[in-house]
Amino acid sequence: MRSTFWLGRVAGIRVGVHWSVLVVFALILVGLAGGGLREAEPDRPAWQYWLASAVTAVLFLLSLLAHEISHALVARRNGVSVEDITLWLLGGLARLRSEAATPGAELRIAGVGPLVSLLLGGLFALAAGLLAWISGTGLAVAALVWLAVINLLLAVFNALPAAPLDGGRLLRAFVWWKTGSPLRATAVATGAGRVLGWSLVGVGLYLVLVGAVFSGIWMVIIGWFVIAVATAEGGQARLRELLGGIPVSDAMTPDPVTVLARTRIGDFLDDPRFRYRHSAFPVIDDRNAAVGLVTLKSADAVPAPERPSTTVADVMTSVDDLPTPRPDDSLARLVPELQAGSAHRALVLEGHRLVGIVTSSDISRVTAWLSSSSAWRRRTL
């Protein structure tokens, strides 16, 4: 899920918004202004309903952001790098560049989200009670009550023991702790996720048949999302099992063609060494230390008049924003980092010295080889 635009950074974590958030905002706006708030506080001017609904929708989206930020902060404290956070149609998504190292870390990362939603629900309920005690009922009280209820429901729903919900992560942490196998734990959690997803689809179809069309369609959408993500996570677990024991050196391209960071963009694009075969190249400094990665696309985006004065260093992706495994690191642990990063490439380093590069295509090649029956038999003999 890629962001349509970026809002900025919160606690050093980049936060983006997918265009589908506009759908959520519109649904809440219309639903509250045309129904919920109007029923709770009738006979008010129309503009008051729309204003209160807009503020409520914004506060709800901020609640989702707080939920995801809590995951990201706890993940970072447990040694898991965070790529970014994206708000979208069905909530929020924090992209982690790696996985939790222990069941305890998984438990802490997953458990904080529902706790934050529960806390927010309690705070909104307390605020509604205090405001009602001070000034009586009103649109603000009705809006706060709605926010309290929706955050409590969010906490309960996310605590269901099925991937990709937070409860699925908690289930995975428990099974991992009991069995010692993170792969088996993932299989259990994703299996539970598919069961939940199909159950939601079934309930949604039933609601459509009995006349609750909007609620039914919404339930079906959520169910399909749960099924799709749980299935994808299960596939990733099988991939990690397949790649278990394979070092990064078996997949990397050794001694790749490099470009100096001080090279001018015009010279880079005109040099025949950087044409035709690859679309990205590692960048090194004058001491042969890896400093980043430059793509032909980013270089070509530089306007022609600026190319003689712009260097590769000006448009490259910094090495700090790329996976940098060692040759003997596990290839299975590199996979989620490659998928989370926008470059989909990793620079293989020994110290600061570049020894190779790994791309998603390299992972696919190794996976195809291992998946063939003859290769798998040779590996297991």
Q: Which residues are catalytic?
A: 68
Residue with tokens 């596990």: 330
- CA-CA distance, 298 to 87, in Å (whole number)? 26
How many degrees, rounded to 5, is the angle at CA 223 between CA 238 and CA 116?
A: 85
- CA-CA distance, 229 to 225, in Å (whole number)? 6
- CA-CA distance, 44 to 227, in Å (whole number)? 43
Residue with tokens 């390299």: 362
Longest dimension (CA), the chain: 79
Reduced to 3 states, what is the DSSP secondary structure of residue 6? Answer: strand
| Residue 148 identity (one-letter amino acid) | A
The residue count of the chain comes to 381
List of residues 6+ apart from 22 with CB closer than 8 A: none
How many degrees, rounded to 5, is the angle at CA 239 between CA 237 and CA 242?
A: 115
DSSP state of 137: S
Across-strand partners of 105? none
For 215-245, letters b (16+ CB in 10 Å) and e give ebebbbebbebbbebbeebbebbebbbbbee
Using left for φ > 0, alpha for ψ between -120 and 50, and beta otherwise, residue 245 falls in left
The sign of the CA dihedral 219, 223, 226, 228 is negative
- CA-CA distance, 248 to 326, in Å (whole number)? 7
| Residue 56 identity (one-letter amino acid) | T
Q: Give the residue among 159, 148, 100, 92 at the shortest CA–CA distance from 122.
A: 148
